[in-house]
Amino acid sequence: MQYSTKVMEHFANPHNVGEIPDADGVGYMGNPVCGDIMQLYIKVQDGVITDAKFKTFGCGAAIATSSMVTDMVKGKTIDEALKISNRTVAEALDGLPPVKMHCSVLAEEALASAIDDYFKKKGLPSPVKLKVGHEHEAD
């Protein structure tokens, strides 16, 4: 496996696994046909993400990016969190094999979906433009 040490660390001991029962936003992204499913929970206080947890069905890269993205959003404002892109997550993991870059897209989209859900729950217009579904890029 050509995963970086950081990916393997996050895969072997992922941070923030679990659910937040009274979450302010829940994102669900993915498709079992193409592989990965990620469920991401956020807790928001005064516009700042105070906690994040995840559950993921997927490969090593999917689990590692889930762990990393939940680490990254904690303490960030909603605006800052929305700036986290799949590349930022992949870079924080010291890179992903090209064939696994789509896993970082899943992390970005699950986060966007959780933030979107947060706005909807508040009855506010959502600034998030969700891509529909998640499809693997061609090899």
Partner 1 sequence: MRKVYFDHAATTHPDQRVVEAMLPYLEEAFGNPSSLHDYGSAAKEALEKARAQVASLINVTRPEEIYFTSSGAEADNFALKGIALGNQQKGRHIVTSRIEHHAVMHSAQTLEKWGFQVTYVPVDKYGTVDPADVARAITPQTTLVSIMHANNEVGTIQPIAEIARITRERGVLLHTDAVATVGTIPVDVKELGVDLLSLSSHAFYGPKGAGALYVRKGVRIVPFIDGGVQEGGRRAGTENVPAIVGLGVAAEIAKAEVPSRAARLTPLRDRLARGLLERIDRVYLNGHPTQRLPGHVNVCVEYIEGESILLFLNMQGVAASSGSACTSRALKASHVLTAMGVDPALAQGSLLFSLGRDNTEEDVDYVLEVLPPIVERLRQMSPLYTARKDN
Q: Which residues bind partner 1 (CB under 8 A)?
A: 1, 8, 11-12, 14, 17, 19, 28, 32-39, 55-63, 99, 102, 136, 139
34 is an active site residue: yes
Q: How would you list the strands of the sheet with 37-45, edge to edge?
A: 25-30, 37-45, 48-57
Tokens of 124: 């506010």
Distance between CA atoms of residues 40 and 23, nearest Å: 10
Is 59 noted as a catalytic residue in this protein? no
Q: Which two tokens stand for residue 90?
A: 């992949």
Query: Least distance in Å: CB of 81 to partner 1?
Result: 21
Whichever of 78 and 113 has its CB closer to partner 1, that residue is: 113
Q: How far is the CB of 25 from partner 1 (least distance, A)?
A: 15
Indicate the residue among 3 and 118 with the shorter CB distance to partner 1: 3
Short-list 10, 54, 75, 63, CA closest to 35: 63
* Cβ proximity of 108 and 69 under 8 Å: yes
Least distance to partner 1, CB of residue 82, Å: 23
What are the catalytic residues? 34, 103
